[in-house]
Amino acid sequence: MTRGYNFSAGPAALPEEVLIQARDEMLEWGRARASVMEISHRGRDFMDLAAESERDLRELMSIPSGYQVLFLQGGATQHFAQIPMNLARIDQVADYIVTGAWGEKAVREAKPYVQPRIAASSLDSHYTRIPPRADWDLDPRAAYVHYTPNETIHGVEFQSVPEVAGIPLIADMSSDILSRPLEVSRFGLIYAGAQKNIGASGLVILIVRDDLLERCTGNIAGIFNYAEHAANHSLFNTPNTYGWYLASLVFKWLKRQGGVVAMGERNRVKAERLYSAIDSSGFYANPVSADARSWMNVPFFLPRAELDRLFLEEADAADLLGLKGHKLLGGMRASIYNATSLAAVDVLIDFMGDFARRRG
């Protein structure tokens, strides 16, 4: 058996060093004389891990004081609903900028808890661009503005943080958190499922500005209440301890790599190489406008859909995994998160060139 080159969109590749460390520590973790999975989340060893992982994430993302960092559950999808539950009233409006399938889903899930307004959308271009900021129709009374900096399915990514006139800005960073430097102080709330760029599914990182927690006052059960989770340092109930542990290892790995500055540089080179191979192939195509192309998820299409099955079979035989596009779009998608090396991208590019020569 061979570990393949993994381009899965999520759950996605983890750094091999992290998997090896997790394997080595599986039976006995630190001083615990047990697996990290087998000990109390309220004991000193796990509490130390929790505190240190928060410190590491704060350092990696330069999170200013005045923000709480929470390690929660439920996937990003649960927080599509939980965010309006906590930060808005049912009779309030909240603005959504929709640039792909995840933004659409965020709107759908918010509906029972707020009046979502689509303040801008690029549906008319089949989500191949970002609507120009000048065309956004923001409501100054909106409880918040929500957007998806990186649309994982459509491969569309904002290249800068939008200006939203003082309305709290909320970002679903599930597929681009920690992929490059970010000015956290521009945001009211950032959230991300861990299974793309951090670790295992079942863990959500949520970074929220203190003043927004004062809004969590409605009739919200404790388990859904962000202020409650913050007051309990994410130990309101049993957290996903193993997922949290894996995230802590990934944070250490990121620090050894040189943090988000080094990752951003590496991710830019990976993406540039792959897009340039696609554009110059005369065979593959990516429809996203150049200024909105994602550094993390690269959808691409073969000239004839009949070739898709053959491409995937040959890719699999060459140990290139997870390339099948999302069912909404068809075609292919290469996800090239932090844990995917430049070497893996080069192997993919060589394979794609070879396939195009033989089938073009």
Ligand X SMILES: *Cc1c(COP(=O)(O)O)cnc(C)c1O
Interacting residues with ligand X (CB under 6 A): 10, 75-77, 102, 148, 152, 172, 174-175, 193, 196, 201
Question: Can you tell me whether residue 314 is helix, strand or coil?
Answer: helix
Q: Distance (Å, rounded) from C-alpha 98 to C-alpha 119?
A: 8
95, 176, 196, 295: the catalytic one is 196
Reply yes or no on whether 102 is catalytic.
Answer: yes
φ/ψ region of 258 (left if φ > 0, alpha if ψ in -120 to 50, else beta) reads: left
Strand partners of residue 209: 67
Question: Looking up tokens 């406008």, which residue turns up?
Answer: 289
Closer CB to ligand X, 193 or 264, in the complex: 193
The CB-of-155 to ligand X minimum distance in angstroms stands at 11
Q: What share of the chain is helix, strand, coil (3-state, %, to 5)?
A: 40, 15, 45
The CB-of-251 to ligand X minimum distance in angstroms stands at 19
First to last CA, the chain: 31
The CB-of-76 to ligand X minimum distance in angstroms stands at 4
95, 172, 176, 244: the catalytic one is 172
DSSP 186-251: G-SEEEEETTTTTS-TT-EEEEEEHHHHTTTTSS--GGG-HHHHHHTTT-SS---HHHHHHHHHHH
Q: Distance (Å, rounded) from C-alpha 220 to C-alpha 315?
A: 48
Reply yes or no on whether 111 is catalytic.
Answer: no
Closer CB to ligand X, 178 or 302, in the complex: 178
Position with the least CB separation from ligand X? 75
102, 136, 244, 295: the catalytic one is 102
The CB-of-34 to ligand X minimum distance in angstroms stands at 28
Closer CB to ligand X, 175 or 338, in the complex: 175
The CB-of-110 to ligand X minimum distance in angstroms stands at 13
The CB-of-196 to ligand X minimum distance in angstroms stands at 6
Closer CB to ligand X, 115 or 201, in the complex: 201
Q: What is the CA radius of gyration of the chain?
A: 21
The reply to whether omega before 11 is within 30° of 0 (cis) is yes
Reply yes or no on whether 346 is catalytic.
Answer: no
Closer CB to ligand X, 152 or 241, in the complex: 152
Closer CB to ligand X, 169 or 352, in the complex: 169
Reference 286, options 186, 157, 169; nearest CA is 157
Report the catalytic residues.
102, 172, 196
